[in-house]
Chains A and B, each alone.
Chain A
């Protein structure tokens, strides 16, 4: 019995130490990558990554947000019309999007579209010895590979989230006004009155910034620490999607509680 307890404790200690080591390594990766004087071509590399993680994620964001906005408009209308307050559908769509759905869904889509690609790309660079090769040329892979991708994620996700909100509101507009016949003045007027820039829009932006840091960090670390085998990359990519999605949902609750909780 004592033996079993001591073994369990030993196992628990080992797991805890392993997790802490992992967290420490991941934590050290970012300052090592970012705390360096940028070279003349760093901006060029950042632009290239912004195109890959940002511009190339636009289509999925635009299409998803349009549908999500449309669904919100439709669902909102069917409930509100029973109370004769279907004019408030604009307020409902906008608040739901800017406070919650845009940061969270954009982050989840970003994980699937850009995060997984970042992990796989860096993992594959490891398999094909490109990272080792950079080191042998006296170039730190953290500065060259990790830093521009991290900054690109940090800039791209909040912008994508904003685009998501705008497009979602437009999706709601199409359904509520064009299809269901809500008065356009009420749709926009109610929205303008009830959505506050500081309390709603900025808090959504803060959420998307936090998600950008966490998601990009997880994706990059998983790629950088991946075992350099086909299975290793597959495991790392899965981990990025699962871990980053769970962290986004968990952090969203914590931030919502802090921002809007009483």
Chain B
């Protein structure tokens, strides 16, 4: 792991039950970039995020994140490390019993020592960043899917994390909401200077904003590079994914 890497996985192996998900996976995410982890549905992208977040334990191999070896951390250290990360879950994962304001304030109340006034200022600032200041009194059930995703985004970056994970941020969004989320991911990364890790299978959107793409499949890394390199790749497996070829000779889905 070099000083430039926010995340480094070495020889990571993980089984879900009897099924092999990752085999000896090596992967590196560089600081300050938007790195996308792509692959067909079910290839373990979300599982990978949960491994990196310390919610799942690998069967072998190491995970270094922000300079710490995840397996060596105790509960308190893991909690402290997690406060330096932000996660946008696939479903948004807003707390249904709290309103929008309290949802965004949640991580600040848990980890910050702000007065109520400072907290309110910070929360409104984050809501401004996603353009939803006026929705602060609403409850998650009253929000549209796109709004909920943006609120969840405001909550994910509330503590000014050093690395932000996005789990399928474009899934199930209409074109306008998708563009809004794309722009937000880019603008927040630029404004806050954090590293972004994007897990997605939406090729066009991901290629438009990612600096680096890692393609997963068969439990290992199939290819990596800039979006341009990946789209121009001659590798038949990469081409099958990027061109959406159903009748390819390469069984991308079969072993998953």
Contacts and interface: CB of A to CB of B under 8 A. Distances in A.
Interface stretch (B103-111, B118-126, B171-179, B248-256): B103-111
Interface residue tally on A, bucketed by range: 10 to 19
A10 interface: no
Nearest to A132: B55
Contacts of A137: 82-83, 106-107, 110-111
B89 A129 contact: yes
Interface string B84-98: 010101111111100
B16 to A, nearest CB: 13
A247 interface: no
Contact of B50 (A128, A130, A132): A132
A250 interface: no
B32 to A, nearest CB: 22
Interface residues of B, number: 22
A241 B62 CA distance: 43
B55 A135 contact: yes
Contacts, number: 44
A223 to B, nearest CB: 14
Given A129-B93, A132-B89, A133-B87, A138 B111 contact: yes
A133 to B, nearest CB: 4
A128 B91 contact: yes
Interface in A143-188: none
A136 interface: yes
Interface string B65-99: 00000000000001110110101011111111000
A22 interface: no
A136 B95 contact: no
A242 interface: no
Contacts of A81: none
Interface in B204-234: none
Given A136-B55, A138-B80, A139-B110, A128 B96 contact: yes
A235 to B, nearest CB: 19
B82 A136 contact: yes
A13 B92 CA distance: 42
B83 A132 contact: no
A138 B90 contact: no
Nearest to A125: B96
Nearest to B167: A129
Interface in A94-137: 125, 127-130, 132-133, 135-137
B87 A138 contact: no
Contact of A129 (B80, B82, B83, B90): B90
A204 B242 CA distance: 68
Given A137-B106, A137-B107, A138-B111, A130 B82 contact: no
B79 A133 contact: no
Interface string A20-63: 00000000000000000000000000000000000000000000
A127 B91 CA distance: 9
Contacts of B55: 132, 135-136
Interface of B: 50, 53, 55, 78-80, 82-83, 85, 87, 89-96, 106-107, 110-111
21 contacts: A127-B91, A128-B96, A129-B89, A129-B90, A129-B91, A130-B95, A130-B96, A132-B89, A133-B87, A133-B89, A133-B93, A133-B95, A135-B82, A136-B53, A136-B55, A136-B82, A136-B85, A138-B79, A138-B82, A138-B110, A138-B111
Q: Rank and list the top 10 A-B pairs by shortest CB-CB distance, nearest first.
A: A138-B79, A133-B93, A129-B93, A129-B89, A136-B87, A138-B82, A128-B91, A137-B107, A129-B91, A130-B93
Given A132-B50, A138-B82, A139-B110, 20 more contacts: A125-B96, A127-B91, A128-B93, A128-B96, A129-B89, A129-B90, A130-B94, A132-B55, A132-B93, A133-B93, A133-B95, A135-B55, A135-B82, A136-B55, A136-B85, A136-B87, A137-B82, A137-B111, A138-B78, A138-B79
